[in-house]
Chains A and B, each alone.
Chain A
């Protein structure tokens, strides 16, 4: 009688899981309550305050910075924010766009910077770096930039959650736990694992990350260590959201791992890096 009972419970468990996760498509992001609220708040906040926001554009390292100036119009869209610059005849001369998908790994936190105004006197500004575009306001508008940062962080969280599909993975991890015989790695997976190790030893972390991702694409559970190594490499490259996610996935797959303490410590470290 006993085995039958467990079997039934398992079926019920999986049904409940399935019922909860039928909408894991990208469209679910726009239906997300937090996402919709954040977009709404930004749409209320930004267009009205366009005159207070100055735009800067920089290259990857911000060694070269161009001042775009204050935009004439700000549009908050489903997937981006548009800054429109117009000339005296009200014709659009330039559009700067920040796509939410492109700032998923950004540390969204305003920074106080001492700059100088047009007359050369020092002023305190608040900078919010979003990829290659920075939003700059004077200190009296710091509440504005803090609110914008808060809403963008909310959007970032929702998008990251969708990107990593943690809920789906919990299902996969559970199924993996229940397997008596774990799957073994294929020859191709072995090739990518060997290559990933080689790239790590020559400190080519980008290629190592790509190799581990290829391992996971072939079979997501045959080599759990890939998650651990991938997390460490991503952390090395300052991709903290992804690093935390992969480490959490590793802990779901191998909850009794020998490196569980190190894994948890790393997650804490990365969360600190994200919030500072």
Chain B
């Protein structure tokens, strides 16, 4: 899982007043709109967890796909040109009426990629795998079905990657907690934090996230709340996996903070929303 979300943005700037927003932040879980895009989130379909059922769901959903953009080879495939869709154990094959338009995606590539589920101009629903493919649906339920199935396949890998990122962070957090004199926020960081806060107020959450990540890169532990605020911003646009990662980092840095209880509760909410 890469720490940057390509597609338009993710950087959030943390602002000092964010600490108060824990209690006022009650809109988690609704689709998030920014401009003409509405960002949704997939759910872990734990109950139908076996691969046979998931492949069935994938087939069921893809039977209703309207268009597929193959981003690697810059090709397009419209549903009218599709002769047959085969969901095999390790890949999905789209057989086109004219053979040169046929497409094929291995499950391992799809599982490995980031997935973004959004609606554009309130009409078409996209399940987007950056640099790989973009699947377009007119029926949101089919788009959700597809996104949920792929996400359920992805989840163990997402979890593993998140754990390994947290493992790398643990010694950083330990040394931070051991310091008698904590590092201070630099002027450059302060500037980025304030700019991000402004962007968030203008509802440009993705730009704000990018600024936050920049600020944290400068000095990782000078402002622990940065992680909490970053988590809140990711949650605002429904990227709960990232939200959970950053909130866990926050709790590693300052496990006894005043808002640690609220932070843990927020974690539970996000885990519940994605169905874990």
**A residues lining the B interface (CB < 8 Å):** 190-191, 194-195, 197-199, 201-202, 204, 207, 211
Interface check B169, CB cutoff 8 A: no
Chain A residues with Cβ below 8 Å from B30 are 202
Are A211's CB and B272's CB within 8 A? yes
A211 to B271, CA, bound (A): 12
**B26 x A195 contact (CB < 8 A):** no
Binding site for A on B (CB under 8 A): 26, 28-30, 265, 268-269, 271-273
Contact in complex: B26, A201 (CB < 8 Å): yes
Residues in A with CB closer than 8 Å to B26 are 201
A202 / chain B contacts, CB cutoff of 8 Å = 28-30, 273
- Write the nearest CB–CB distance from A223 to chain B, whole angstroms: 15
Kindly provide the distance from the CB of A214 to the nearest chain B CB, expressed in whole angstroms. Answer: 11
Q: Are A195 and B29 in contact (CB under 8 A)?
A: no
State how many angstroms separate the Cβ of B264 from the closest Cβ of chain A: 9
Q: Tell me the complex Cα distance, A197–B273, Å.
A: 11
Distance in angstroms between the alpha carbons of A186 and B265 in the assembled complex: 13
Distance A201 CA – B26 CA, assembled complex (angstroms)? 8
Alpha-carbon distance between A201 and B27 when the two chains are bound, in angstroms? 8
How distant is the Cα of A201 from the Cα of B273 in the complex, in angstroms?
Answer: 12
25 contacts between A and B (CB under 8 A): A190-B265, A191-B268, A191-B271, A191-B272, A194-B268, A194-B269, A195-B268, A195-B269, A195-B271, A195-B272, A197-B269, A198-B28, A198-B29, A198-B269, A198-B272, A198-B273, A199-B29, A199-B272, A201-B26, A202-B28, A202-B29, A202-B30, A202-B273, A204-B29, A207-B272
Interface of A is mostly: helix
Give 17 new A-B contacts, CB below 8 A, not counting A191-B272, A199-B272. Answer: A190-B265, A191-B268, A191-B271, A194-B269, A194-B272, A195-B268, A195-B269, A195-B272, A197-B269, A198-B28, A198-B272, A198-B273, A199-B29, A201-B26, A201-B29, A202-B28, A202-B273
| CB of A36 to closest CB in B, whole Å | 38
Complex-state Cα separation, A197 to B272, whole angstroms: 10
Nearest CB of A to B59, in Å: 24
Q: Which residue of B lies closest to A188 (CB)?
A: B268
On chain B, the residues within 8 Å of A197 by CB distance are: 269
Contact present for B265 and A194 (CB under 8 Å): yes
Which one of B29, B268, B271, B272 lies within 8 Å of A190 (CB-CB)? B268
Q: Which residue of B lies closest to A208 (CB)?
A: B272
Contacts of A194 in B (CB 8 A): 265, 268-269, 272
* CA of A57 to CA of B215, assembled, Å: 63
Closest to B28 in A: A198
Report A-chain residues with C-beta under 8 Å of the C-beta of B269.
194-195, 197-198
B-chain residues with CB within 8 Å of residue A211 when the two chains form the complex: 272
**In angstroms, how far is the closest chain A Cβ from the Cβ of B23?**
13
Most chain B CB within 10 A, of A195, A198, A202, A211, is at A198
Assembly CA distance A202 to B27 (angstroms): 8
B29 to chain A, nearest CB (A): 4
Cβ-closest chain B residue relative to A187? B264
Q: Which of B26, B269, B272, B273 has the most CB of A within 10 A?
A: B272
Contacts of A204 on B, CB cut-off 8 Å? 29
Min CB distance A271 to B, Å, is 33
Q: Which residues does chain A contribute within 8 Å of B268, judged by CB atoms?
A: 190-191, 194-195
Shortest beta-carbon distance, A186 to chain B, in Å? 13
Residues of A contacting B28 with CB < 8 Å? 198, 202
A202 to B273, CA, bound (A): 10
User: How far is it, in angstroms, between the C-alpha of A211 and the C-alpha of B28 when the chains are bound?
Assistant: 17
When C-beta atoms are compared, the residue in chain A nearest to B43 turns out to be A207
How far in angstroms is the closest Cβ of chain A from B50?
21
Chain B residues with Cβ below 8 Å from A191 are 268, 271-272
- Closest-by-CB residue of A relative to B269 is A198
**CA A194 to CA B272, docked complex, whole Å:** 9
Instruction: Please measure, in the bound complex, the distance between the C-alpha atom of A204 and the C-alpha atom of B29, giving whole angstroms.
Output: 10
A202 and B29 alpha carbons, distance in the complex (Å): 7
Give the distance in Å from the alpha carbon of A201 to the alpha carbon of B272 in the complex.
13
